[in-house]
Structure 1
Amino acid sequence: MLRFGCSQVVIERLDPLVDPDMNPSAHMHQIVGGDAFNSSMPVADIAKHASCTTCHFLEDLSNYWTANLYFKARNGSYKRVPQMANQFNQGDNGGITIYYTSPGPNLTTAFKPGFRMLTGDSTRRTSENLGKSMQQCYRCFTKDNFGGSMYSPCMDPTYDTDYLSKQPCAGGIRSNIIFPLCWDGKNIDSPNHRDHVSHPVGGPTSFSVVTGACPASHPVKIPQVMLEVMWDTRAFNNKEDWPEDGSQPFVLSTGDKTGYGQHGDYVFGWEGNSLQTAMDSGCYLRNCSQLTEQAPQVKNRCSVPVTVKEHKDLDDWLPELPGGGGGI
């Protein structure tokens, strides 16, 4: 299993998978990875289009992006909740923690150049009732950034909504997003960015259970990708700033207050066979002699320019969510 941090490369209202060539797209995203990210990314070897990456390993020029989180104050205005560096990723400029998991050496096939996929549904507002096999889930840190075990079970958003209506997550909120682990072996994309991948027979597995059998329609096991976002909610712990009705004040950039609409996008961009080598070589967390590490101060310098002209600065108090909180 690889586990490593990718600093923020840009925060912008772009989505080259769902809304290619659209500037701006429907809602705000936080993006990490290579500097090839833009409103229209070719179905090609992205590693050859990028010159730097915000990820810990120099070979990973992929892009990963998720919805942002906002705080809705009592007066109806919105403020973006910043990401913070996850455990063992101190020094990163916010961003996302990335996991790649395999059941063992030579048991998964790394993604091919041009591969991309989407998981989650930005319009979902109810539970999928998957129990421990939830593919989007949360953890509320009640003491500090990393209160409790890093591997403690995720909670269904309903639990967190109920908890948050009573007291703040004093140390922050963690969001986990898990991708499917079976591939049809042919297509590097599909019209909805989902049909070329699949969950194992019997449905999704919980992280990091990657031993399920793949269906005949999608017989190739690929590394399980998981994204982990840490939101620093500590500036919003004063309940006098929360809605008067006592409801929890956090909303995704899609306008979703339930949390069920969290989703993740992925464009593969590892150089050559570097990911396959890492999956087959017993690499663990950030310990991988086959890959090249970058110091935080180096990867934090990689960025792409903001191209969407919003009415206000991204970190100002806003009268509404950017784009109005579009859920598509």
Structure 2
Amino acid sequence: MALSRIDPIVNPGVVSSHVHAVVGGSSFAVDYTSAYKDAACTSISTPADRSNYWMPAVYGMKDNLFYALPVREVRIYYFLNTEMEAFPEGFKMLAGSPMTRSPDENMIWYCQQGSHDMTGVESLGRNSQFPLERCWDFLRSEITFPSCWSGDTTLDTEGQTAYRDGDSCPDTHPVQLPKIVLEFGYNSSDFDPTSLVLANGDTAGYGLHGDFASGWDRDVLQALIDDENCNARQNPYGEDDSTCKVLEGKRDDDGANSCTLVGPIPQEAVGIMEPLSALPGCNLLWSDNSTKPTCDPEPSTPAIGPYTAIFQSFGASYAGDVPGLIPVYEAGY
């Protein structure tokens, strides 16, 4: 899991507009190609999935300084049925927008309160805005990606995907793809809920959004789709009497926990080792109904260079015992 101002889908070849939290294959870089599937390793415990998944980083503010929230966990849910197709090589897609200023049912925040929740429930409030209460256990973001594809083989992200209409895909996007739900859990209990901010300066949380760049072994993903035994919520690794055998014996937690990006990456600090006086890029604070402010003058753009110690990634020394990032396969629609 790492933070960097890279977005090869929206800002290919250059430093992106704001910092993202990234998981997945080590080939993640400023440019995206189908070679992502050939990454040397992945921070996900399923080696067949060398995709990259990312969303904006979240910061907490104290004394006019910005602290990157440590990521406690990442969950990647795949909802499958046998009518779906595996993602084509080079496939990429977006969910949500950093400029959204109104609720979106596919972009959700809520608190995991655990034993601190006096109401007796584990979580409170699912909303498109940051929670109104302090998250004593952790803050969770939940992004649902579209799962219908137009079939456009140019793989241009503009207009190629759509959300299901009830139980089926719209006529304009007839190809069913796996439905991905991406969840990041952030340690945020040290911060008042009014002090949370997305990396793009959004203090409301409406601008939650996600990106996916496929690096799957298509044969493995298609086998998961085609096997009805893999379309139920269960352990996908063939253990504990699971009947899904496609990934049996293929889980690699050690490899996931030791995987790092290769680079190149923007040469800048992102608020992990020490707080920042300003969010990276032109990202001044803006509230729920205001217009995103501009910078005068524009901040300087960092160089893109090789992987070095300046590249900030969460490890055991900062975030505690971070488990492997394991895709969880759930039932189909």
Could you state the TM-score of these two structures normalised by the residue count of structure 2? Answer: 0.75
Deviation at 1:174, TM superposition (A): 0.6
- Indicate the residue corresponding to 2:173 in structure 1: 218
- Indicate the residue corresponding to 1:140 in structure 2: 111
Deviation at 1:144, TM superposition (A): 5.0
8 A Cα contact 1:126 1:258, kept in partner: no
Deviation at 1:72, TM superposition (A): 1.1
Q: CA separation of 1:71/1:285 partners in 2, compared to 1, >3 Å: closer, same or farther?
A: farther
Pick one of 210, 230, 236 that aligns with 1:287: 236
Pair 1:114 & 2:69 matched: no
Whole-Å separation in 2 of the counterparts to 1:11 and 1:62: 16
Q: Which letter maps to 1:175?
A: S
Q: Secondary structure at the match of 1:155?
A: strand
Q: Secondary structure at the match of 1:235?
A: coil
Deviation at 1:265, TM superposition (A): 0.5
Provide the identity percentage: 29
8 A Cα contact 1:135 1:179, kept in partner: yes
Pair 1:84 & 2:72 matched: yes
8 A Cα contact 2:88 2:218, kept in partner: no
Deviation at 1:97, TM superposition (A): 1.2
Alignment map for 1:177-326 (pairs within 5 Å): 177-187=143-153, 189-190=155-156, 193-201=157-165, 212-236=167-191, 242=192, 248-281=194-227, 282-283=229-230, 284-288=233-237, 289-291=245-247, 292-305=249-262, 307-310=265-268, 314-325=272-283
Which stretches of structure 1, 4 residues or more, deviate above 6 A after TM superposition? none
Deviation at 1:305, TM superposition (A): 4.4
Whole-Å separation in 2 of the counterparts to 1:145 and 1:294: 33
Q: CA separation of 1:30/1:303 partners in 2, compared to 1, >3 Å: closer, same or farther?
A: same
Alignment map for 1:98-109 (pairs within 5 Å): 98-102=76-80, 104=81, 106-109=82-85
Whole-Å separation in 1 of the counterparts to 2:4 and 2:115: 28
Q: Which letter maps to 1:110?
A: A
Single out whichever of 226-235 and 306-315 deviates more from structure 2.
306-315
Deviation at 1:29, TM superposition (A): 0.6
Q: CA separation of 1:222/1:143 partners in 2, compared to 1, >3 Å: closer, same or farther?
A: same
Q: CA separation of 1:322/1:30 partners in 2, compared to 1, >3 Å: closer, same or farther?
A: same
Pick one of 128, 132, 141 that aligns with 1:157: 128
Q: Count how many residue pairs are aligned between Structure 1 and Structure 2.
A: 272
Q: Which letter maps to 2:251?
A: Q
Q: Which letter maps to 1:276?
A: Q
Deviation at 1:171, TM superposition (A): 0.9
Flag the structure with more relative contact order, 1 or 2, with Cα contacts below 8 A and sequence separation at least 6: 1
Pair 1:20 & 2:12 matched: yes
Q: CA separation of 1:253/1:319 partners in 2, compared to 1, >3 Å: closer, same or farther?
A: same
Whole-Å separation in 1 of the counterparts to 2:223 and 2:125: 30
Whole-Å separation in 2 of the counterparts to 1:140 and 1:68: 17
Whole-Å separation in 2 of the counterparts to 1:76 and 1:267: 35
Pair 1:34 & 2:22 matched: no
Q: Secondary structure at the match of 1:225?
A: strand
- Indicate the residue corresponding to 1:169 in structure 2: 135
Q: Which letter maps to 2:41?
A: C
Whole-Å separation in 2 of the counterparts to 1:15 and 1:323: 13
- Indicate the residue corresponding to 1:46 in structure 2: 36
Whole-Å separation in 2 of the counterparts to 1:82 and 1:70: 9
8 A Cα contact 1:35 1:302, kept in partner: yes
Q: Secondary structure at the match of 2:43?
A: coil
Deviation at 1:52, TM superposition (A): 0.8
Deviation at 1:235, TM superposition (A): 3.1
Deviation at 1:293, TM superposition (A): 3.4
Whole-Å separation in 1 of the counterparts to 2:270 and 2:110: 31
8 A Cα contact 1:125 1:256, kept in partner: no
Pair 1:123 & 2:99 matched: yes
Whole-Å separation in 1 of the counterparts to 2:270 and 2:180: 34
Deviation at 1:124, TM superposition (A): 1.0
Could you state the TM-score of these two structures normalised by the residue count of structure 1? Answer: 0.76
- Indicate the residue corresponding to 1:206 in structure 2: none
Single out whichever of 286-295 and 314-323 deviates more from structure 2.
286-295
User: What are the superposed Cα offsets for residues 140-165 of structure 1, whole Å, 9 maximum, x if unpaired?
Assistant: 1223599845xx7861134x54x23x
Q: Which runs of 5+ in 1 are unaligned?
A: 1-7, 86-95, 129-133, 202-210, 237-241
8 A Cα contact 2:41 2:255, kept in partner: no
